[in-house]
Structures are given as C-alpha cells and as structure tokens.
Amino acid sequence: MSKPHYQTMGQQFGRRSWAEPWKIKMVEPIRMISREAREQAAAEAGYNTFLLRSEDVYIDLLTDSGTSAMSDRQWAGIMLGDEAYAGSRNFYHLEEAIQTYYGYKYVIPTHQGRGAEHLISQAVIQKGDFIPGNMYFTTTRLHQELAGGTFVDVIIDEAHDPTSQHPFKGNVNLDKLQALVDRVGAENIPYVSLAGTVNMAGGQPVSMANVKALREFCDRHGIRIYLDATRMYENCFFIQEREEGYGDKSIAEILKEFCSYTDGAWMSAKKDNLVNIGGWLAVNHADVAEKARNMVVVYEGLHTYGGMAGRDMEALAIGIAEGVQDDQVAARVRQVRYLGKLLLDWGIPIVEPIGGHAIFLDAKRFYPHIPQDQFPSQTLAAQLYLDSGVRSMERGIVSAGRDPKTGDHRYPALELTRLTIPRRVYTQAHMDVVAESIKAVYDQREQTRGLKMVYEPEYLRFFQARFEML
C-alpha cells in the first residue's frame, strides 16, 4: 500500500493543470427541458427536488450517493457474481478488501449505509443513552434515536460558521465531550459517533491529531468510537494535504492509521466505494459483531450477503481498492474545488473551506431577506432547478426536522443548499454550466420569495415534504 508508481500531472509538472485519471468509454444522454416544462415539473414536485423525476433534470447534483460511474473493472466484476444464498465467493472478496484497507476484523454487509446504522445502533445503544457526535447526519441520528439514544453535538464551534477557515472543521471538541461525560456519566455513553468527512458541515474533515486525542480520551473513560466511514477517502485527502507529517503518505496508509484509532465503522458504500448500491458494518469486538450478525438476518439478509447480490459485492470489493487510489481521490476533490472557486470568484456565498463531496451554498447569506421558517435553502434549490434544470438538495431547517420533545422546528445554524458532485460522472464544462446558473439565480435574489410547507411527513421530512411558493 505504498504510493503508486505513477504520478498525477500536477506532481510531474508542478503548477500545470491536472486531469481525471480515466477516460470515458460509455455515455448517457442528458437534456434540459424547456422553462415551461420545468415550472410544471417543480410545481408538481411540491418544490422538493427529491420529488422530481430524474428525466426532468439536466445536471443532477442531488447527491453523490449511488450516482458514481463504475469502472470497466467493476463492470467486469459484475459478470463474476456468485449468486449463492450463502457463502458467496464475492462476500469473501469484500471481507478481504475491508480488512485490507480499513483494517477491521469482522465484516457484515448491508444493503446500504442506513442498514448498517440500524445494526450498530440497536447492537450497542441502551434506552436513555447519549451519543455524542461531530454534527448530526439525518439517518444516523434517527437510528440512534429509534434505538432509545439522544444525540449530542460535540463538534468544534467553527463547524457551525460557514465563513470560518479552520482546516479541520470536522474535529470533535474534547471539552464539550468532557462536559457531557460530567453531566450524564461515561457509563451512559456507549460510543462516540465520528464522521469523516462531516456531510452536514459542508464535507469538512477530521484531523489525525483529533482522532488520536479522542482515542486517548475514550480509553480513559471506557467509551468506544464508531466511525461513519462514508467519505473517509476524502477525509484522508485533506489530512495528506493539510496535516504535518502526512504529505508523503498515501491515502491508503492514512486511512489505515485513522481507522486504527476507532473500534469499527459503518459505511454507505454508495459514496467513496464507487458502487450504485451497498453498505457494510465492520467492527473489532466479537460480541458486537455477533449481535449485529444476529440482527442482519432479520432486517437485511444472511450475514454473507446482507441485502446485496453477489455481483454487487464483487463490484464493491473492486471499488474499495480503486476508490482509495491517490489520483482518484485527488481528481474528485479538485473537481469540487473547481466549481467552488468559480462561485467564490463571483462573490457567491458558499461554505469555506471547500469540502470534499459538494459545494454548499450559504442560503442565509444568499437570501438574507427570507426568514428561516420560510425555507431559504429549499427556495434556492427550487430556483436553481427553475433556472437550468440543475438539481441540488436542501440541507437546512427542513433536513433538521423537529425536536422530538418540543415538536418545534430545529433551527440549525447552517442553512445550506448542497450541490453534490457524483464521482467520475460530469465534466468541467458541466461545472461551468452549473456555476453560471447559480450566478443567474444570485442576480435575481432580491426578487425571490420563500416557501410555505403544505405537507410534512413524520420521519426524515426533507425526502417527501411539499411546498408552495409564497
């Protein structure tokens, strides 16, 4: 797992341009429907981009989840699917890949990330427990709550400030964690829920120094650390780029070290691992693995497929090894940065530093005249779709949901619209088109009004809520 023998163009030629470490072998046509058709589609979708038909979308930046392009090798792997109910050969390839690159002992496949979140939450949380974490993620927190736990945010304050230039805005604040231990007792904290990178904060990384310090803290208090490894490759890129002593290490080496400070991880393989569906849970403690294996057969499938077909496990095993390569991760993060820099040059407010998987427009600064309960980031996502058929996602008050105790909206400090870049799918020209559309929406900002919520589902409301224009 030393550095690969090839170099990126940037490494070879210094300040010259970089380019993707792949070429395109198959294409999928896309088109922009007319303004009139977009207006109709948006209204029919209740101004919720989750409710649009993808046929009506031009450039789809809803998510980087399950939207990556697989490589020729991964597609070849699909043909090697061993579709046995039990003990498929592909499961053993997957297990080996996770053990090799992430370093955990026991591997349990799941249909996607939230399947693994369900298993770990039910396996280790007791009713009344507290789960500290570096900012919430929607499905993660819900599974912790459904298991009887209460999530407590212990991320550093800078993470809630979209203008802070802190290089590791995903870091845990150990004083906040200490305060929680003092308040509720370490025996009521089964684990720290650590995500690298932090999706809701704008794709911000955790430093190696922070996870090391966290490990020491947790060892002193008998608390475990479980990692949301969904975008850890990107987290490792930032460590390589920004943290002293890691510039000469490969992403794979950094990953292995980072994971070694944790007790296990859950994974949405639909992101870093470059597959369209899949997930896994991997842990180092046999008792936790046993509980999770007992449950996986109830909710997902046998413990050697966990809801995935053999062929999908093969593509995933190949994707794990492919996605972790330095040039793959670098090209991915640099494409995101390219889009972000275009916007910054035009003075458009985004979360800084630019994160790993997406550009987050700061809707509070974009639409300062729209109050938070008129859904500024939902409004921005709707306006962007109307302008150009580009699909983005609300990450603000709608995503934050309601406080289960008071029933009121949670009012998050961050009110963001996320433009998430799928891996290996769009070109630089697509990024230019997206940036120009955002500029057009920005130029119209003073005339834009907010939204009213007219339908609200009970769980994860952002997926299915409906709105009307004010």
Catalytic site positions: 85, 137-138, 228, 271, 395, 462
Shorter beta-carbon distance to ligand F0G: residue 112 or 171: 112
Nearest to 312 by CA among 283, 279, 281: 279
Shorter beta-carbon distance to ligand F0G: residue 162 or 307: 307
SS3 for 455? strand
Q: Is 228 in the site for ligand F0G (CB under 6 A)?
A: yes
- Closest contact distance (angstroms) between CB of 199 and ligand F0G is 4
Shorter beta-carbon distance to ligand F0G: residue 114 or 249: 114
Shorter beta-carbon distance to ligand F0G: residue 181 or 400: 400
Which residues are registered as beta bridge partners of 130? 150
Shorter beta-carbon distance to ligand F0G: residue 139 or 284: 139
Shorter beta-carbon distance to ligand F0G: residue 139 or 260: 139
Q: Is 279 in the site for ligand F0G (CB under 6 A)?
A: yes
- Closest contact distance (angstroms) between CB of 141 and ligand F0G is 10
Residue nearest to ligand F0G (CB): 113
Q: Is 74 in the site for ligand F0G (CB under 6 A)?
A: no
Nearest to 320 by CA among 141, 95, 110: 95
Q: Is 270 in the site for ligand F0G (CB under 6 A)?
A: yes
Q: Position of tokens 């911000």?
A: 204
Q: Is 193 in the site for ligand F0G (CB under 6 A)?
A: no
SS3 for 468? strand
Q: Of these, 63, 68, 392, 448, which contacts ligand F0G (CB under 6 A)?
A: 63
Sequence-distant (6+) residues with CB within 8 A of 394 are 48, 49, 375, 377, 378, 381, 417, 418, 462
Q: Of these, 122, 268, 374, 378, which contacts ligand F0G (CB under 6 A)?
A: 268
Are 292 and 120 within 8 A, CB to CB?
yes
Which residues are registered as beta bridge partners of 418? 360, 393
Specify the stretch interacting with ligand F0G by CB under 6 A; choose among 112-120, 185-193, 245-253, 457-465: 112-120
Peptide bond into 197 cis (omega under 30): yes
Q: Of these, 230, 273, 325, 377, which contacts ligand F0G (CB under 6 A)?
A: 230
Q: What order of strands is seen across the sheet that includes strand 393-395?
A: 358-362, 416-420, 393-395
C-alpha–C-alpha distance, residues 25 and 34, integer Å: 29
Q: Of these, 48, 122, 140, 193, which contacts ligand F0G (CB under 6 A)?
A: 140
Print the binding letters for residues 430-459 with ligand F0G: x by CB under 6 A, - otherwise. ------------------------------
- Closest contact distance (angstroms) between CB of 266 and ligand F0G is 7
- Closest contact distance (angstroms) between CB of 50 and ligand F0G is 10
Question: Between the CA of residue 443 and those of 143, 349, 352, what are the distances in Å?
Answer: 41, 13, 21
Are 118 and 143 within 8 A, CB to CB?
yes
Q: Is 401 in the site for ligand F0G (CB under 6 A)?
A: no
Q: Is 379 in the site for ligand F0G (CB under 6 A)?
A: no
Q: Of these, 130, 137, 226, 305, which contacts ligand F0G (CB under 6 A)?
A: 137
| DSSP 8-class letter at 131 | E
Q: Of these, 77, 113, 307, 376, which contacts ligand F0G (CB under 6 A)?
A: 113
Reduced to 3 DSSP states, what percent helix, strand and coil does the chain have, rounded to the nearest 5? 45, 15, 40
Nearest to 162 by CA among 417, 378, 419, 421: 417
Q: What angle do CA 142, 147, 148 make, to 5 degrees?
A: 100
| Total site size for ligand F0G, rule CB under 6 A | 15
Residues that bind ligand F0G (CB under 6 A): 63, 65, 112-114, 137, 139-140, 195, 199, 228, 230, 268, 270, 279
